[in-house]
Structure 1
Amino acid sequence: DPESYLSTSPWQIMSFEAEQHYKAALIEDAFELHDIVLPDPIEVATDGRVSHYRNKVEFSFFGFEDTESNYEYLKLAFFQRGGKGKIPVAACSLLPASMMDLALDICAYLESVQVTARQLKTLLIRCDQQGNCVWQLYIKEEACGFMSEHEAAGFKAQGGEVIYSDPRSPASRITKRLLSVGNVVLTDTILGVPFRYATEGFFQVNIPVYEQALSDMKQWTKSEAPIVDLYSGVGSIGLTIGGDACTLIEIDENAVREMKRNIKEQGSGAIAVLAPSEKALDYITGEEIVIVDPPRAGMHKDIIDRLLEVTPSRIIYLSCNPVTQARDVALLAKKYGIRAHKGYNFFPRTPHIEHLVILDRKDTFLA
């Protein structure tokens, strides 16, 4: 992607072998910042696929006018890395062909009816592992006069929506759904367990590598202890490896709604709790195995304090930011040691790396 790689995947400049090496080095450096020496050589798991792996993309738009004909051309675009400028794109090596083709078709339609970039925010597209796509077009106007239900249903997708997003905010947030066609809820299977999730909701971008991480995590949940899954999203960790005695805690109302539907459809005995993880500390009693998969900022201090207070025997910590993970592990080191750890290359050709740490209470190392 010579035009856009700096915006999407700047590590295209190196071989995949070099990328794997440097990602292991990033993990090592993050822990050394907190004077933590990881007990084993750092392994970075991958399925070997370096392109067409993403199941989600968000495009901006770039418009320019032919001054002679007054015709406005419309292009898909990504923002420049570290800036506010836009880069027009017609291809992206990280995306399956079905997603890129759908995005180009929607953009071509919008151009044909002379919708301008100024009227639009973003185009969000997600697909499941079978290649079924759902799209959401976020616009800055409260009426959708440029597209009918019939026209919206004509794109090669299982469903789509036009959404008014308040232009006073630069973020593509749902203010009002203006038009909806087809089935806009996606379904994927993770370790044999089906999950429903909303197009705009959080779900893993690279499911095959995510399944590798879950399989590894599952090896550390084989005791009879119940599970508490913090920052649980739609439940893709707890509902695959947590068993029926699992409590899932999530702050996002839409994610919890899908989680409850997943629990019902799976016939699981798991419990869904709508709350910020740091406000649900009573669910951490010390009798459970605690699983955490926090945002890039890491765990809330109140959660760390609670873990140190009640000392569950094991903490399973999956992180999208080894720097904040290392910070949290250093704080927990008063009572916990690292039993195992492993990296996962969820996002090939980018600097991002996931890291799993298994923390066991120090007295169990002597058992």
Structure 2
Amino acid sequence: MRVIEKYEKVEITDFAAEGKCIYKSAEGVIFVEGNVAPGDIVDLEVVGKKKKFKEAVVRKIHTHSSLRTQPYCAHHDTCGGCRWQHIDYSHQLRFKRQQVVDHFERIGKLNGVLVSDIIPANDTRFYRNKLEFTFSSNRWLTREEISSGKDFHRNALGFHVPKRFDKIFTVETCHLQPDPSNEIRNGMYQYINEKGYRNYDIRKNEGILRNLIIRTANTGDIMVIAQFGERDEEVIPDVMEYLKNAFPVISSLHYIVNTKGNDSYQDQEVVLYAGEPVIRETMEDLTFLVGPKSFYQTNSEQAYTLFSVARDFAGLTGKELVYDLYTGTGTIANFVARQAAQVIGVEYVEAAVQDARKNSVLNGITNTEFFAGDMKNLLNGEFFKTHGKPDVIITDPPRAGMDLPVVETILNAAPKRIVYVSCNSSTQARDIALMSQAYEVTRVQPVDMFPNTHHVENVALLERRKV
């Protein structure tokens, strides 16, 4: 990494986007990577230079900020999963709310919108219900290990080093997912090392042990999916038998043979090895089936908070026709169905729509319909003529937000209210700006789904302006 210039004993000024911080120098803004906090006095090395800003890394911290707290994880300097654990939680919440305000004002030009205080998470550790761990034959070595000149064991099972697709560091204890996640991962790591099985090398696309996915539901159900890089008829059954016998708590055990160059498995066959094909999550008196390929919010407790806010914003009286866009497996659609006359869910992925229908049947919900297809093509005049135009639209798009044709489709539907649920308030603000002539933002509620990270979920209520 080439050093362009250095700054000594300067004060970090503020938080920035994507978990970075800022130092405002006389020459302009410098974005700082690393475990720093506003108020830290540091030495910086500039490693990147753009037209309007510079990028730097911290080489030494002279004085620590009062915003800091003691990190609890041994991997906090290496892992990007809990990048803000050195920041006191109250200050994390303050910045996340300010991030929403900034996005609405700077990107959406939505001045004067009142953003409520963020709803904090009750649990700031062990809150995730899903984690993916990667096997590697090329473990990340620390500077101390490299400088020692010794020959170290290179197998790893853990997380990617940020910005390094081919480097994995072994996790001892992860504070993101509740037990028995750590026991299963550590047991698996010890077993494959004892057996001498080959870990996967992503650069060469070879090796047997590739990926381990653990899902822990709030019902106590546990799903484990082992992903293999080769179809080895001896190793695969041996590893799966180990998992089955060593951890009888696993209620749904699967494996995948994936010989592609990446770990994505939505297009791969998932083989049920033992137990049930799905696990179950509950929300109020509803039960949701979660399969190996199903999407479900990774923080179950805060997902309930998020959906409760969305349902409250929808203002349902039992008479409304609701459209749930990007419905996925129908979690929101089924969650609000009993307060609506009818709910129509629309989703691009056919398999997700099938799961949504199953979840309605499972919960005895009869006033939902789900359709698979491209929204901008599906939601046309004929569709509205057949099913009716919505009184309320709930939309929960991916991080990239909604395409312009989808925004135009929503405007054409002209619902009384739009409830926009977002995991990226910058694209949310952009989309709302496109609807601002017809709709006014009346309520905004951030929800903290991912403590100790810069991510924030946000719900906005848009009400149709009076002509």
1:260 positional shift = 1.4
- Structure 2 gap ranges (5+): 1-72, 140-150, 201-207
Question: Is 1:32 aligned to 2:114, yes or no?
Answer: no
**Counterpart among 257, 280, 289 of residue 354 in structure 2:** 257
Distance 1:38 1:97, change over 3 A: farther
The CA deviation string for residues 166-209 of structure 1, in whole angstroms up to 9 with x for no partner, is 32335344523355211131111112211101133210111111
* Aligned with residue 268 of structure 1, among 365, 368, 377: 365
Indicate if the aligned counterparts of 1:132 and 1:158 stay in contact, CA closer than 8 A: yes
Indicate whether 1:2 and 2:74 are aligned: yes
Give CA-to-partner distance per residue, 1:37-71, whole Å, 9 cap, x none.
Answer: 25324311123210000000001123369xxxx99
Given candidates 89, 97, 117, the residue that maps to 2:179 is 97
Any runs of at least 4 consecutive aligned residues in structure 1 with deviations exceeding 4 A, and if so which?
70-73
Given the superposition, is the C-alpha separation of residues 71 and 36 from structure 1 closer, same or farther in structure 2, using an over 3 Å criterion? closer
Question: Which residue of structure 2 aligns with residue 363 of structure 1?
Answer: 466
Equivalents in 1 of 2:235, 2:100: separation in Å? Answer: 49
Partner of 2:315: 221
Deviation of 1:127 after TM superposition, in Å, equals 0.9
**Number of the residue aligned with 2:234:** 145
**SS state at 2:307 partner:** helix
CA drift of 1:8 comes to: 0.7
SS at match of 2:190: helix
Is the CA contact (8 Å cut-off) linking 1:165 and 1:173 kept in structure 2?
Answer: no
CA offset at residue 233 of structure 1? 1.1
Counterpart-to-counterpart distance in 2, 1:215 and 1:177: 33
Give me the TM-score of the superposition, normalised by structure 1. 0.91
State the Cα deviation string for residues 234-283 of structure 1 (Å, max 9, x = none): 11101011336111111223322221111112221211112233332135
Does 2:331 correspond to 1:236?
Answer: yes
Secondary structure of 1:90's aligned partner: coil
Which position in structure 2 is the counterpart of 1:82?
A: 163
> Structure 1 residues 42-51 or 13-22, which shifts more?
42-51
Q: Which residue of 1 aligns with 2:303?
A: 210
Partner of 2:27: none
Percent identical pairs in the alignment equals 22
Aligned partners of 2:466, 2:321: CA distance in 1, in Å?
20
Matched residues in 2 for 1:351 and 1:214: separation? 21
TM-score for both structures, normalised by structure 2: 0.72
Query: Which of 373, 382, 396 is matched with 1:293 structurally?
Result: 396
Query: Do the aligned residues in 1 keep the contact of 2:214 with 2:223 (CA within 8 Å)?
Result: yes
What secondary structure is seen at the aligned counterpart in 2 of 1:9?
coil
Aligned with 1:343 (options 435, 446, 462):
446
For residue 209 of structure 2, what is the aligned residue in structure 1? 120
How far off is 1:92 after superposition?
Answer: 0.9
Distance 2:263 2:298 in 1: 23
Q: Is residue 2:116 matched to residue 1:42?
A: yes
Q: What amino acid sits opposite 1:28 in the alignment?
A: V
1:19 aligned counterpart, secondary structure: helix
d(CA) in 1 for partners of 2:325, 2:98: 28
**1:198-232 Cα shifts (integer Å, max 9, x gaps):** 13321011111111122222222313111110101
Paired residues of 1:345 and 1:353 also in contact (CA < 8 A)? yes
| Contact 1:314–1:361 (8 Å) recurs in 2 | yes
Amino acid across the alignment from 2:129: N
Does the aligned pair in 2 maintain the 1:235–1:259 contact within 8 Å? Answer: yes
Partners in 1 of 2:160 and 2:92 — Cα distance?
A: 24
Secondary structure of 1:342 counterpart: strand
Moved more, 318-327 or 132-141: 132-141
User: Structure 1 61/3 Cα, relative in aligned 2: closer, same or farther at 3 Å?
Assistant: same
Q: Which residue type is aligned with residue 399 of structure 2?
A: R
Q: CA deviation at 1:337?
A: 0.3
Paired residue secondary structure (1:291):
strand
Structure 1 residues without counterparts, runs of 5 or longer: none
Which residue pairs with 2:135 in the alignment? 61
- Tell me if the contact between 1:166 and 1:175 (Cα under 8 Å) persists in the aligned partners: no
Q: Is the 8 A contact 2:346 2:373 kept in 1?
A: yes
What is the CA–CA distance in structure 2 between the aligned matches of 1:301 and 1:272, rounded to whole Å?
A: 23
Alignment CA distance shift 1:184-1:7 (3 Å)? farther
Trace 1:176-195 onto structure 2 (pairs within 5 A): 176-178=269-271, 180-195=273-288
SS of residue matched to 1:22: helix
Q: Which has the higher contact order (CA 8 A, sep 6+)?
A: 1
Q: In 2, distance between residues paired with 1:258 and 1:35?
A: 39
